[in-house]
Chains A and B, each alone.
Chain A
Amino acid sequence: MKLYCLSGHPTLPCNVLKFKSTTIMLDCGLDTTAALYFLPLPLVHSPRLSKLPGWVSKDGAVNLEKELKECSGRVFVDSQPEFCLPEKELLDLSTIDVILISNYHCMMALPYITEHTGFTGTVYATEPTLQIGRLLMEELVTFMERVPKAQAATCWKNKEIQRLLPGPLKDAVDVWSWRKCYSVQEVNSALSKVQLVGYSQKELFGAVQVTPLSSGYSLGSSNWIIQSHYEKVSYVSGSSLLTTHPQPMEQSSLKNSDVLILTGLTQIPTANPDGMLGEFCSNLAMTIRAGGNVLVPCYSSGVIYDLLECLYQFMDSANLGSTPFYFISPVANSSLEFSQIFAEWLCQNKQSKVYLPEPPFPHAELIQTNKLKHYPSIHGDFSSEFRQPCVVFTGHPSLRFGDVVHFMELWGKSSLNTIIFTEPDFSYLDALAPYQPLAMKCVYCPIDTRLNFHQVSKLLKDIQPLHVVCPEPYTQPPPAQPHRSDLMLELQPPPMAYRRCSVLGLPFRRRYERIHLLPELARSLVPSEIKAGVSVATVSAVLQSKDNKHVLQPVPKPAPVPPSKKRKRVTEEPPEVLNPKPLLSGAVPLEPFLAMLHKNGITEVKVEETADGHILHLQTEDVLIQLEEDATHIICDNNEPLRKPGSELLRG
């Protein structure tokens, strides 16, 4: 069993598991942090951005004026932002049988995998994952296509040139594998391959059974169990134990796993979501009270639901009830509405509201009372209804594309305004780099509800997997806090760490396989009891293996021979019932075996202990006997007279 790691990003995983002749891709995350190297795509013409000087090397030898622009001491690529895809060269993607998706954030690279690679398999995901994932993909495509760029910059990627560029562009890795965003057609085609599954529903293909379990992180998010009759692999992706809107995490089914692949832990282990939420609210209130606006760059689904719910209660208590909230995204309306209809995927508290009947999320009420307004973009109705001071939720959190770019240009100059970062995916300093100098206040309150190290070590103590596989960063303290040994996984045995392009052989011994006996063969068995309750029978059959299923079939009868009386008589005789010959099975107990050798005149035996068993050296005879748990070898240099008695003794 092997694990191919196509992404090194701990929270945007893409791994391939080869298990029992099936090839399963676990998640398909797209690392969008590469976009931070690019200039923002302004929705409205920005004189500031258009006037940025091009980059020329100091000696004038390299001139990339058209591709690279300088902005407050940093160099950005002036082209449509690109993303870093999962590794495509490590294995043939067309061999993938199935892709399991855990949550909508971890499927953004799907079109790159399913299209143009010869992929013919199926994608499994829950309904909310599919629908919200579709929204996020469509939003991404819209953000890009709204602001088309004439040409793509590629010269800078030339190794010789990149070497000469200033940091951090100089240090960007795998730049040739970066790709532009996909198209709507590709999204549609990729998503048409998705087959919907529900929690605890079992899907069988080949000999492997896969089961999605609620992971508590987002609407429809799941962990997966992949198991055969005798092996169990658990795949834990973004999971949460906090009581937010999704159904709580199902933990007990993860018990007794042979291997647990652990990804998607919190990206900011030192930030407690509750504290951050408090920080978010107090900074928001402070800004509004002082007459400023608040900009919240966020994804259009996920934490935003919790933020709106929290603000719904907070704004009245902080006496800010009249401040309008704007949610601007091409998919804002669908996101708000979808959240209300996936009742069965919500936590119990919200589910029960549906029976009252009431909308599960309070943002419905905010919309009704006109406190929350949503628009597809800043163009159109929004510009006429826009009122300040206000709170704007909009994407993209990288600040490189989407409506947020406009608000950065609009509000960045006033120190009354505040930008509050709540998404943990991007470094806020890097995100803000092309907007410097910035007067606007910046607050970083990353809200990451995924498991933290404390929770995960408790979880692992409960479910006790035999082996844990995880991304490399989880096996050491964060680089910025090398003493925080509490912020890493400390397990016994130590977890197996992977990085991008690792291929791990999972420590799995396939010990047993289930084999079916055909009824006619079973009927022919003659069991004889060797001790009370245990009977054995010899069987002669043909083993047929197909699609991971093994069947013992009767030995095909020899071609019919013309019947003769004599033969017929013979076949009609009842078969002779013989006691089975002693068969070799199990390990050879050392002490009795030595005693036996002694009894048979072999006295000079040197015993040596090995990792798997023992080596016996019969010195006079110059014979080696290797005793292992599942094999015994007698090495006697073709000394046939000695070998036979030896094996007889073993049978002893």
Chain B
Amino acid sequence: MDSDCLSLLPAVCLVLADPKQSPPDDTSLEKLLDWFKELHSQSDGQVLLQHQPCLLEFISSVCMSKTTDPAILSFTLKLTGLLAATTQELHLFDEGGLLVYVFEREAWGVCDLWEDASVRSGWLQGLLNMLKHQQALGFMCGNGLIKVILQLQNDRSLFVACLANQLLVHILNFLTSSNMTNGSDVVGSSESSLRPDWVAASSEIMNAVVEALSSEDHPQVLQGLRLLSLVLSKCGEPIISTLWKDVLVPLEVLVNRGSESLIQTLITVLEAALGTPLLSQSEYKVEELLEAMLGDGNRKECFHCAALIVKLEKCPEVLKRKATDIILLPLQCVSTQPQAEKEINVVLKEQLSQKASCISLLMQSLSSLAQLAHTKYLFEDISIHSITSSVLLLLRMCSGHCPTSLLHSNAFTHLIGCCKVQRCGLDTLGALSVYEEILDLRKDIFGVLLDYLQSPDSHATVLKKTFQAVKRWIVCSPFPDLLQFISHDLFPVLEKRMCDLRWEVRDSTLEFITQLTTALNGNSGFTEALHISGMVSVLLSSLADAEGYVRASAVAAVGEAVTASSHQMVLVSNSKLLDEALVQMMAILSQDTEGFPRRAVVQAFTSWLKGSHLITALELSLSSVLSLGGSDFDWEVKMHTLELAEVLMEKTLTCCPYAVQNFGSSEETRFTQALIKFKNFGLFDLLFNSLFDCDRPVCEKACALLVKLRTLTAETADLDNSLLVLNVCGNRWGDEVQRRYLNKQQAKASVSVTNGVTGSDEGTDCGLHSTKDISLPKILQILDLDDMQRMLTLSSDHVVNSPRSLMEDILSAAQHSEENIVDCY
């Protein structure tokens, strides 16, 4: 295919270089570049430029043209860089002095084009593409390009500035990498082994960083910090320590100044520094700087800073403790009784009295706490007990319960009904469930959570978070009164929430019940409570909800509830419930107008089947599910049906619960019996129909399953084919199989005729002449499954997306525009 494309290349180059043509869109140009990149990587030392002289002509004509479009110039710059990525090619360019010409903007036909950000970006990208070998670096240093790159670092276009930073880091990295050092020096060698002009280049870059950090210009400082953090995370020694020594002083100044807008970037720099060997050397003051950022917790920005430090992965313990103390201050301050009041600083007080800052501070405090809980952080100065009590108190305050004496009545009024803090607080409360020390607070915790579930004013999203927290606390460690709590406190609330006006609430309630049932699977008491309390019948009535999503969640919940009871005595007394559930679920699968509930039904069957317990009542419905699911309009329902089929196959073939177990029968017989069972379930119809489905993923899945079957049938030598004959008439897949069957027969016949052999003895093995019924193994043979699978794995747009079609598009667009011009006259 590439040779096809290469033949089109000269024409494409002509079109692209033609200033009269409007340039193709950016995506086409990017795709073209991708193709070049791929071509280049596959070239195996063959030099593209030598074989395609049109490229050099194209590049020079674009640069010289006085009417070049910026998009084309940008493309050309990137392409040049790509093509000059090997020394050999670079020499080819250099021979005509073309390379200097391309990257020297004063030499261009139109100097003004530099004003266009896409051109500057292309220029940088070109250099980045080229920087694969020493000569490229030499070219940049020799032509003073480093200076331009440093200028571009403060470009008004963020993309350009970012790219410049990347390029600078790449250069620094390249300078220290092993292929750059003279002789046998390895990484870590000193700069002295570098060529002098490169030493100059690296110090030029580093000086620029120092200069930027000392600048009064805010954007310049930001860019400097960004470059610094990039260097720290991407480069190795000795660059890092050399640079750090130089920037330490201006960095200290910045940190002590404590400008709010720089905090995030400063922290990124320090975070990057934490990941380097700088941390272990005290003279580099990394820890000291981070500590300085925190201050004494009496600056407005220290909370933000503390929140960021808490999130750091590699953070010195002392520092983390300090940050933790600071970030917990707002939470403690709002929810502490006056007598326990530590001296609270004025800044915090002021921040808490304003609504916006109060809420954001508390949210930072809560989410940092949750973050710490995720790692099961060990608190030292303050007990997890009192922290949890604070969170509980805060949550109570949010729902309008006021503690008897309060420190910040202002903060209290800001908090009433504040969903943001409620959600965040509930998340944190859930996260705190990892601490076993606070298990004795469980009563209070469940009290608050129940209050939230009961409150008529709880927002739908708050309820969802409450459910998550309840689940975490129930699951974390079962307690003696758990069942009592569930059936007396939780279930009545859930029942009411399932009748909520808002479908989102009904939906998340059902989801919660499903999760709870899954989590407590095996807890016989829970299953019993679920049935005795009448929850299952409430779930069943939710199957008729007006909202499709809710019906889907109800299906899942009913599915779980039924499986949960499978090994219980309860089920026997509630077999009616199971029957009713099956009837309703089948009705949903066959009649529901929305896809979600239907998908859920098939998924429920899959999970039933996956379960370890055999539910005989389900077996009767399986064939209906397979046929209804396979003929659904929704491709996802079909996919789920195929997954069901897969599970059925796995289960049957491994333990054969559905086959008649004849002790002593051979493996082969059992396999045949399993296949007969599949046939009776309509599994083959499903697979073959899906194989010719209009949705590619469906076909792919069906094909994979059939391939699996084919392997198994091939492995089983004495398969009784006569028992596995399928009717191939009257359906789409049958017609296809017949067509292929006839084609093969004809081909064989013609081969036989040419070979002078009659084909009479060919059909004796399994009745080849009869095209109405064909055995399964034969069908699997007739269908060229491997070829089908290969075709199906290609993405559906693989034809349209090829480089050839891209080039043809570019050419035909040019042709059309010419025609249009002709039309005008």
Q: Would B457 and A282 count as touching, CB distance under 8 A?
A: no
Given A317-B545, A317-B546, A319-B545, are A485 and B500 also a contact pair (CB < 8 Å)? no
Total interface residues in chain B, CB < 8 Å: 27
Given A278-B456, A316-B546, are A481 and B495 also a contact pair (CB < 8 Å)? no
Q: Which of B390-410 contact A (CB under 8 A)?
A: 400, 402-404, 406, 409
**Which residues of chain B have C-beta atoms less than 8 A from A484's C-beta?**
400, 402
**Which residues of chain A have C-beta atoms less than 8 A from B413's C-beta?**
485-486
Query: In the complex, A107 Cα to B582 Cα: how many Å?
Result: 59
Q: Would A282 and B406 count as touching, CB distance under 8 A?
A: no
Query: In the complex, A484 Cα to B402 Cα: how many Å?
Result: 7
Which single residue of chain A is at the shortest CB-CB distance from B410? A485
Shortest CB-to-CB span from A349 to chain B, Å, is 19
Shortest CB-to-CB span from B755 to chain A, Å, is 72
Q: Which of B491-508 contact A (CB under 8 A)?
A: 495-497, 499-503
Given A282-B499, A481-B402, are A319 and B412 also a contact pair (CB < 8 Å)? no
Q: Which of B530-551 contact A (CB under 8 A)?
A: 538, 541, 544-547
Complex partner residue of A289 from B409, B416, B538, B546, CB under 8 angstroms: B538
Q: Would A483 and B412 count as touching, CB distance under 8 A?
A: yes
Q: Would A278 and B412 count as touching, CB distance under 8 A?
A: no
Which single residue of chain B is at the shortest CB-CB distance from A285? B499
Shortest CB-to-CB span from A389 to chain B, Å, is 14
Which single residue of chain A is at the shortest CB-CB distance from B459? A275
Which single residue of chain B is at the shortest CB-CB distance from A313? B501
Given A282-B501, A483-B406, are A317 and B547 also a contact pair (CB < 8 Å)? yes
Query: In the complex, A167 Cα to B402 Cα: how many Å?
Result: 30
Q: Would A275 and B538 count as touching, CB distance under 8 A?
A: no
Most chain B CB within 10 A, of A270, A271, A282, is at: A282
Shortest CB-to-CB span from B416 to chain A, Å, is 6
**Which residues of chain B have C-beta atoms less than 8 A from A278's C-beta?**
456, 500-502
Decide yes or no whether B455 CB sits under 8 A from chain A. Answer: yes
Shortest CB-to-CB span from B366 to chain A, Å, is 22
**Which residues of chain A have C-beta atoms less than 8 A from B500's C-beta?**
278, 281-282
Complex partner residue of B409 from A270, A281, A485, CB under 8 angstroms: A485
Query: In the complex, A484 Cα to B457 Cα: how many Å?
Result: 17
Q: Would B499 and A289 count as touching, CB distance under 8 A?
A: yes
Shortest CB-to-CB span from B227 to chain A, Å, is 49
Q: Would B456 and A270 count as touching, CB distance under 8 A?
A: no
Decide yes or no whether A312 CB sits under 8 A from chain B. Answer: no
Q: Which of B454-496 contact A (CB under 8 A)?
A: 455-458, 495-496
Query: In the complex, A486 Cα to B538 Cα: how many Å?
Result: 40
Complex partner residue of A275 from B406, B456, B495, B541, CB under 8 angstroms: B456
**Which residues of chain B have C-beta atoms less than 8 A from A317's C-beta?**
503, 545-547
Query: In the complex, A229 Cα to B323 Cα: how many Å?
Result: 65
Most chain B CB within 10 A, of A277, A286, A310, is at: A286
Shortest CB-to-CB span from A26 to chain B, Å, is 31
Q: Would B496 and A283 count as touching, CB distance under 8 A?
A: yes
Q: Would B499 and A281 count as touching, CB distance under 8 A?
A: yes
Query: In the complex, A281 Cα to B498 Cα: how many Å?
Result: 11
**Which residues of chain B have C-beta atoms less than 8 A from A283's C-beta?**
496, 499
Which single residue of chain A is at the shortest CB-CB distance from B503? A317
Q: Would B545 and A275 count as touching, CB distance under 8 A?
A: no
Q: Would B412 and A275 count as touching, CB distance under 8 A?
A: no
Which single residue of chain B is at the shortest CB-CB distance from A317? B546
Query: In the complex, A276 Cα to B457 Cα: how many Å?
Result: 8
Which single residue of chain B is at the shortest CB-CB distance from A278? B501
Given A275-B457, A286-B495, A319-B541, are A314 and B501 also a contact pair (CB < 8 Å)? yes
Which single residue of chain B is at the shortest CB-CB distance from A483? B402
Decide yes or no whether A186 CB sits under 8 A from chain B. Answer: no
**Which residues of chain B have C-beta atoms less than 8 A from A282's C-beta?**
496-497, 499-501
**Which residues of chain B have C-beta atoms less than 8 A from A275's C-beta?**
455-458
Query: In the complex, A283 Cα to B456 Cα: how many Å?
Result: 11
Given A278-B456, A486-B416, are A319 and B400 also a contact pair (CB < 8 Å)? no
**Which residues of chain A have C-beta atoms less than 8 A from B496's C-beta?**
282-283, 286
Q: Which of A252-297 contact B (CB under 8 A)?
A: 270-272, 275-279, 281-286, 289
Total interface residues in chain A, CB < 8 Å: 27
Query: In the complex, A481 Cα to B455 Cα: how many Å?
Result: 17
Shortest CB-to-CB span from B106 to chain A, Å, is 64
Query: In the complex, A318 Cα to B538 Cα: how many Å?
Result: 12
Q: Would A270 and B400 count as touching, CB distance under 8 A?
A: yes
Most chain B CB within 10 A, of A271, A278, A319, is at: A278
**Which residues of chain B have C-beta atoms less than 8 A from A281's C-beta?**
499-501
Decide yes or no whether A445 CB sits under 8 A from chain B. Answer: yes
Shortest CB-to-CB span from A465 to chain B, Å, is 23
**Which residues of chain B have C-beta atoms less than 8 A from A272's C-beta?**
456-457
Which single residue of chain A is at the shortest CB-CB distance from B497? A282
Which single residue of chain A is at the shortest CB-CB distance from B550? A317
Shortest CB-to-CB span from B358 to chain A, Å, is 14
Query: In the complex, A284 Cα to B497 Cα: how many Å?
Result: 12
Which single residue of chain A is at the shortest CB-CB distance from B496? A282
**Which residues of chain A have C-beta atoms less than 8 A from B546's C-beta?**
316-319
Q: Would A483 and B409 count as touching, CB distance under 8 A?
A: yes
Shortest CB-to-CB span from A275 to chain B, Å, is 3
Most chain A CB within 10 A, of B403, B496, B500, B501, is at: B501
**Which residues of chain B have C-beta atoms less than 8 A from A271's C-beta?**
456
Q: Which of A306-326 contact B (CB under 8 A)?
A: 310, 314, 316-319
**Which residues of chain A have C-beta atoms less than 8 A from B502's C-beta?**
278
**Which residues of chain B have C-beta atoms less than 8 A from A485's C-beta?**
409, 413
**Which residues of chain B have C-beta atoms less than 8 A from A483's C-beta?**
402-404, 406, 409, 412
Query: In the complex, A281 Cα to B541 Cα: how many Å?
Result: 16
Which single residue of chain A is at the shortest CB-CB distance from B500? A282
**Which residues of chain B have C-beta atoms less than 8 A from A276's C-beta?**
456
Query: In the complex, A314 Cα to B403 Cα: how many Å?
Result: 38
**Which residues of chain B have C-beta atoms less than 8 A from A319's C-beta?**
541, 544-546
Which single residue of chain B is at the shortest CB-CB distance from A290? B534
Q: Which of A603-627 contact B (CB under 8 A)?
A: none
Per-residue contact bits, chain B 409-420, to A (CB 8 Å; 1 contact, 0 not): 100110010000
Query: In the complex, A317 Cα to B547 Cα: how many Å?
Result: 7
Shortest CB-to-CB span from A169 to chain B, Å, is 33
Which single residue of chain B is at the shortest CB-CB distance from A310? B501
**Which residues of chain B have C-beta atoms less than 8 A from A314's C-beta?**
501
Query: In the complex, A422 Cα to B455 Cα: how many Å?
Result: 16
Q: Would A318 and B456 count as touching, CB distance under 8 A?
A: no
Shortest CB-to-CB span from A422 to chain B, Å, is 13
Q: Would A277 and B416 count as touching, CB distance under 8 A?
A: no
Query: In the complex, A484 Cα to B538 Cα: how many Å?
Result: 39
**Which residues of chain A have C-beta atoms less than 8 A from B545's C-beta?**
317-319
Q: Would B544 and A279 count as touching, CB distance under 8 A?
A: no
**Which residues of chain A have C-beta atoms less than 8 A from B458's C-beta?**
275
Q: Which of B133-173 contact A (CB under 8 A)?
A: none
Which single residue of chain B is at the shortest CB-CB distance from A477? B402
**Which residues of chain A have C-beta atoms less than 8 A from B406's C-beta?**
483
Which single residue of chain B is at the shortest CB-CB distance from A270? B400
Given A276-B456, A319-B544, A485-B413, are A286 and B402 also a contact pair (CB < 8 Å)? no
Q: Would A279 and B409 count as touching, CB distance under 8 A?
A: no
Most chain A CB within 10 A, of B402, B403, B458, is at: B402
Which single residue of chain A is at the shortest CB-CB distance from B454? A279
Shortest CB-to-CB span from A626 to chain B, Å, is 45
Query: In the complex, A439 Cα to B407 Cα: how many Å?
Result: 44
Q: Would B409 and A445 count as touching, CB distance under 8 A?
A: no
Shortest CB-to-CB span from A319 to chain B, Å, is 4
Which single residue of chain B is at the shortest CB-CB distance from A319? B544
Please provide the 3 A-B residue pairs with the shortest distance between their CB atoms, ordered closest to farther: A275-B456, A317-B546, A285-B499
* A-B contacts, 7 listed (Cβ < 8 Å): A270-B400, A275-B456, A275-B457, A285-B499, A289-B541, A445-B456, A483-B406
Q: Which residues of A contact B (CB under 8 A)?
A: 270-272, 275-279, 281-286, 289, 310, 314, 316-319, 445, 481, 483-486
Given A275-B458, A277-B501, 17 other A-B residues pairs in contact with their CB atoms under 8 A: A270-B400, A271-B456, A272-B457, A275-B455, A276-B456, A281-B499, A281-B500, A286-B499, A289-B499, A314-B501, A317-B503, A317-B547, A318-B545, A483-B402, A483-B403, A483-B406, A486-B413
